[in-house]
Amino acid sequence: MTPATLAWSATLFCVVFSARMADGFLRASPRLFTVMALFACNWAVLLPYYGMPADVPRPELLSALGGFLSIYAGGLLMLHAHQPHGPAPDVVTWQVIGVNLLLLVAVESALAIPGPQGAHLFGLSHHQTELAIGLLLVIAGFVAIAKGIKDLAGTLAFCVLAVILAGYAALEAKFAWQEWENVGTTIIPELYLYVFAAAKIIYTVTFGSIVAYKGMTDEDRTDPANGRPRIGHWILLFLHIRHPHHHSA
């Protein structure tokens, strides 16, 4: 298996895992089901990025779209934490932030209009504007996800996820810095492919497990007879051998 194939496979795993968390555990929680569906889509939009030939420039704005999906997923987590049952009276601030940041993706092409002497607006090339906007939305998405987990699951879960996201954000920033002077992202160094693959899986498994645990029904979470976690039951739910309870927790 080549490094690029491994990176693509890791991203596909994140799509499948996130979708299974939604379908296997969160049918009784529509907002959290949507959170995991958006999270799965966040990874799905990156599949073409890793599936392109090495000599074809990769669209860095795909990560920006993924960042927007993460921002909105984080907003839904906050909304659910504040109003777990019944309709919410209003959207949360991060949902508004996400919608407005999405406009950066729409106007990115305008930022690359050639200026005098062949320069670009703000002195940035088309590739650099893609990297900058992508990094901005990815980090904003991480912040929204971390804030949402803190509201939903408490300080301990937040601290665990924050450490993972800090490492992931540093990796994204380092990659953007390395690619900054290039004409476009074509061949990704093998080390980055391996590390990004590992980071995606660790992030997805941690985030998905926290959301699923908090969102599943009491009957699915613990054994009514002894109050212990139903780990075997969770495995069967994930594998779609059993079906989750559908009434509210």
Residue whose C-alpha is closest to residue 124's, from 53, 60, 180, 67? 180
Is residue 196, in this structure, part of any structural domain at all? yes
The number of folded domains in the chain is 1
Query: Whole-angstrom Cα distance, residue 29 to residue 24?
Result: 11
Residue 53 has a pLDDT of: 78
Range of the domain at 128: 3-215
Residue whose C-alpha is closest to residue 75's, from 62, 59, 91? 91
Residue 119 has a pLDDT of: 46
Residue 41 has a pLDDT of: 96
pLDDT by 10s per residue, the chain, length 249 = 788 899 999 999 999 999 999 988 888 889 999 999 999 999 999 999 888 877 777 888 888 899 999 999 999 999 999 887 777 667 888 888 888 888 887 777 666 555 544 445 566 777 788 888 899 999 999 999 999 999 999 999 999 999 999 999 999 999 999 988 776 666 788 999 999 999 999 999 999 999 998 888 766 666 655 666 666 666 777 776 767 766 544
Residue 152 has a pLDDT of: 94
Helix (H, G, I), strand (E, B) or coil at 187: coil
Distances (CA, A) of 160 to 69, 131, 145, 165, 169: 21, 27, 12, 9, 15
Is residue 193, in this structure, part of any structural domain at all? yes
Is residue 239, in this structure, part of any structural domain at all? no
Is residue 221, in this structure, part of any structural domain at all? no
Is residue 118, in this structure, part of any structural domain at all? yes
Alpha helices in 154-225 (DSSP H): 155-179, 190-215, 218-221
Is residue 126, in this structure, part of any structural domain at all? yes
Is residue 58, in this structure, part of any structural domain at all? yes
Is residue 227, in this structure, part of any structural domain at all? no
Residue 186 has a pLDDT of: 67
β-bridge partners, 229: 222
Helix (H, G, I), strand (E, B) or coil at 120: strand
